[in-house]
Structure 1
Amino acid sequence: MDTDIIVNNIKKSARELFRRYGYNKTSVNELAKHANVAKATFYKHFSSKELILHAVLMDYIQENVQDILSKEVGQQDLRTFLAKTILRVSRVTYTVCNEFIGWEFIRESANAQEYLKILSDDLEFLLLSSFIQNETIGAVVPEEKLTFLIKCSKNIVFSFAFTAVSDADVRKNFISFQKDMLPHLVAATLQ
């Protein structure tokens, strides 16, 4: 079987199982079985369960970021477009981490804390490169200003996970972010 097909089957299985049972409750044995590959084949392509999680999260986020960036281009001023884009990307990032990993697991696990740092750095790189390549944003906003906006937004959104007790808290945090913080971050970015 073609390597790309095997990798895609493993990713698809991981996406389904992590979403259904969570990262912590899904074993490599289950992932391999669901993808119809041997455990050795799984490890040939992904040396750990953490690496398949990372691949799945980054693929999912990248697909959504590209979709978000391609919508509503040119239909609004840059300030509004940037604010809406950052808000939507932030929601996707929070939601995907919640669905695939679970914030309770992240709060309780030392390994998850290390992984969250890696995810955060890779997410920042992905967002920055996607924004720079976007004609509406990249041609107008300097890279250092985009870096400021993405770092600040990312840090604020990740802090939601560690301060929120309930889904209602998360909704309040996103409303506060949208109304009280994001306009100032975007204004500072576009100065």
Structure 2
Amino acid sequence: MEQDKITVAIKKAARELFRKYGYNKTSVNELARQSHISKATFYKHFASKELILHAVLMEYIQENVQDILNKGVREKDLPTFLANTILRVSRVTYTVCNEFVGWEFIRESANAQEYLKTLSDDLEFLLLSSFIQNETIGSTISEDKLTFLIKTSKNIVFSFAFTAVTDADVKKNFISFQKEMLPHLVAATLL
């Protein structure tokens, strides 16, 4: 296999295995086996399991953010577009972290806390750059105001992960975020 094909195969295997078994229960041996490569070849492409997780999460989130931004262009006004976009992006972020990693593992693992900080920072950068590049948003809202909206929304949603015990709690938190917090955040951003 040539290098790009190997990377693609590893990412595909990681998406499937992390979703099926979670990050913690997926081994590098399983990732290599599913990718039809040796463990040594895996490590030539990704120095750790954490790095492949990060690559897969960021790629998946980026694809979804672009899709959300492109579909949201049809919203009737900027505040609605911005609120709906933030809500959709927040749901994707929460869901993908839950599906690929599992919030229970993140809550319990000291190493996961460090990783979550890196993910949070990279996610913030990805969202900010995607929003700035969006014609509707980037031409209307300053980078400082977008940073405020994205950082605040991200922090609120990540707090769900650490306080919610059940899926019902998460749903309740998202409804509260949508109805009670997000309108104020968008209004402050558009001032």
**TM range, smaller chain:** over 0.9
Q: Report 1:7-156 matches (<5 A).
A: 7-156=7-156
Residue 74 of structure 1 deviates from its aligned partner by 4.0
Deviation beyond 3 Å, 4+ runs, structure 1 = none
Contact 2:14 2:52 in 1 (8 A): yes
CA RMSD, aligned part only? 0.6
1:170-185 correspondence to structure 2 within 5 Å: 170-185=170-185
Shift of 1:3: 1.0
Gapped regions of structure 2 (runs ≥ 5): none
Contact persistence 1:74–1:136 (CA under 8 A) = no
- Structure 1 gaps, min length 5: none
Q: Which amino acid aligns with 1:111?
A: N
Per-residue CA deviations over 1:101-120 (Å, capped at 9, x if unaligned) read 00000000000000000000
Structure 1 Cα separation of the partners of residues 143 and 67 of structure 2: 21
Identity %: 82
Partner of residue 168, structure 1: 168
Q: Which amino acid aligns with 2:73?
A: V
Give the AA of the match of 2:42: F
Aligned-pair CA distance for 1:75: 3.4
Q: CA offsets, 1:128-162, max 9 Å, x none?
A: 00000000000000000000000000000000000
Deviation at 1:46, TM superposition (A): 0.2
1:2 CA drift (Å): 1.9
- 2:72/2:85 contact within 8 Å kept: no
Count of paired positions: 191
- Name the CA distance, whole Å, in 2 between partners of 1:32 and 1:77: 48
Deviation at 1:180, TM superposition (A): 0.2
Contact 2:28 2:49 in 1 (8 A): yes
Q: Under a length normalisation based on structure 2, what TM-score does the superposition of the two structures give?
A: 0.99
State the alpha-carbon separation in 2 of the partners of residues 27 and 72 from structure 1.
38
Separation (CA, whole Å) in 2 of partners of 1:63 and 1:178: 23
